[in-house]
Amino acid sequence: MNTRTLTRAALVTGAALVVRRALRRRVRMSPLWPMPALEEPVSGRPRARALRLTVTRHEELADGVVQLRLEGRELPAWQPGAHLDLVLPSGLVRQYSLCGDPEDSSSYTVATRLIPEAEGGRGGSREVHEQLREGTEIEVRGPRNRFALDADAPAYLFVAGGIGITPILPMLREVEARGAEWRLLYGGRGRASMPFLEDVAKLGGDRVEVVAQDEAGLPDLGAALTATAPGTAVYCCGPEGLMAAVEAALPEGRTLHLERFAPRNTADGNGPFEVELRRSGKVVDVSAGSTVLAAVRAEVPGVAYSCEQGFCGTCQQRVLEGEIDHRDELLTDAERDGSMLICVSRARGERLVLDL
């Protein structure tokens, strides 16, 4: 081998080393580094695209309500009704509606109410309020939208309860910009705890009815719904009781769209059943007071899960046999045809078979 050949080989080898080191640096700069090793077959829903963003603003909007502004890069587009998954420092995953301007690709804005433990809070909202200060970095997934605005509706009625105003606010801005016919019924415990009151008043004027419970009691949902014309799209977000009341009072000829921040309260329909884990060769019993996830994890501790509320999709499993009682707020009809979120969904019969 002559000197020229040796020199050329050395150059090629050196270039390869430079490229390899550059790729390693690039991977380590990725928000997904380090990535956990997954055992095959991979179970559960594929992770949404992850971003590493910084909290650039943390401000109190109302009593018990804070708003976060997240920045860090050119951000994926979103439409009114979309939400983000926030991976909190503890590892908890929580979902929050985007309430800023969809045209602003430099930042995301979310707002959250502090839910005390006495009201069923499980620590996520407290972590947001107390730990996500300005300068904090956080992993964000999404955006996703299961509460999209129907652009073809002839008119709109929006019904919001408390923090349920967050996904509706961008919708109001859009329908107002389009010149569409709309009204808003906004209820809450008291004005001091109701965010965005000034924003909705400026947008809608007398088309906005604010009902504070400490002043006027509960809103008259029946009157608001009866006053709508056939074809009206009704969008509702708030406590489960509010959404159930809207469902019950909805006149014929209107379309109803609901956004939940907690799983449906369907405890009355719970019954015991068994689950066969086909690949593991095990059978587990699910009691009326337990979940499939809890029963499965007792036998297979490594099964993936996160939110335990049917929102994030981490615990999605393929169902080989049995009829499913779907209780999540995430899966599409196509996905529900052969899989379930085992943190909230159950069996309609006595047995399910999972590909686990």
Kindly state the percentage of the chain with pLDDT values over 70: 84
What is the pLDDT confidence band of residue 178, given thresholds at 50, 70 and 90? very high
Task: Yes or no: say if 150 and 171 are a contact pair by the CB < 8 Å rule.
Answer: no
pLDDT at 36 over 70: no
pLDDT at 41 over 60: no
Task: Yes or no: say if 312 and 91 are a contact pair by the CB < 8 Å rule.
Answer: no
3-class SS at 265?
A: coil
Contacts of 179 (CB under 8 A, 6+ apart): none
The length of the chain in residues reads 356
- H/E run at residue 226: helix 221-226
Output the 3-class SS for 270-328: CCCEEEEECCCCEEEEECCCCCHHHHHHHHCCCCCCCCCCCCCCCCEEEEEECCEECCC
Pick from 238, 227, 221, 170: which is nearest to 200 by CA? 170
What is the pLDDT confidence band of residue 8, given thresholds at 50, 70 and 90? very low
Residues 250-267 have a mean pLDDT of 82
Per-residue pLDDT of 51-81, as tens digits, reads 999 999 999 999 999 999 999 999 999 999 9
pLDDT in the model for residue 230:
97
Rounded to two decimals, the pTM is: 0.76
d(C-alpha 337, C-alpha 15), whole Å: 51
Q: How many CA atoms lie within 13 A of 233 on its CB side?
A: 20
Residues 270-286 have a mean pLDDT of 94
Per-residue pLDDT of 83-126, as tens digits, reads 999 999 998 888 899 999 999 999 999 999 999 888 878 889 99
pLDDT in the model for residue 265:
60
